[in-house]
Amino acid sequence: MEHTTRIPPAEITGFKGALIKRMIQRKLGQVPTAVGVYWHNPRVLFASSGLGGKVQKWDACDEGLKSLAHMAVASLVGCTWCLDFNYFEARNKGLDLEKAREVPRWRESSAFTPLERDVLEYAEAASQTPPTVTDDLVDRLHAALGPAALIELTSVIAFANMTTRGNVALGIESDGFAAACGLKPLAGRPGVASAS
């Protein structure tokens, strides 16, 4: 049975729509379902995309750590779209795919370094309501990364919460980016079915 979003995707029309579709198809090979859903309010779509583009340009924190953090948020929140897309993007950015695929079960996996485990724990702790971040965890990350990278990592986690929670609320699920390029399925969280 094919999944449908809670708000059906709008047809992406007009001059701007044609440009956006062409740019996205050139970069990704297909237009994600999320673009159609958010096309109902292009101002929100453009603002979110613009912020996402700025977030991708930040360079004080290691790209691999930021990717793991975003995937940890997606796994915690249950955003299959973000998990799938970030796994696909990890491949495109030359990041460690074995680590990326193991994020949903990071606590049980032996794939991660102590610093990566702290990043994954921090992403989850910052995403709880209320946040459960401890002084000890922040102290370890501050010592390992420095203040600029820690601020950047924290902001990436906050951005990931905005995108993952919006996708889950609107019923936006995986578009199969990782499967389309032949990546092994993501590891499932213990007791939960695989995310892709």
Per the rule left: phi > 0, alpha: psi between -120 and 50, beta: everything else, 29 is: left
pTM of the predicted structure, to 2 decimals = 0.92
pLDDT at 194: 47
| Regions of the chain with pLDDT less than 70 | 1-2, 191-196
pLDDT at 188: 86
pLDDT at 156: 98
pLDDT at 2: 60
Q: Compute the half-sphere exposure of residue 57: CA atoms within 13 Å on the CB side of its CA.
A: 6
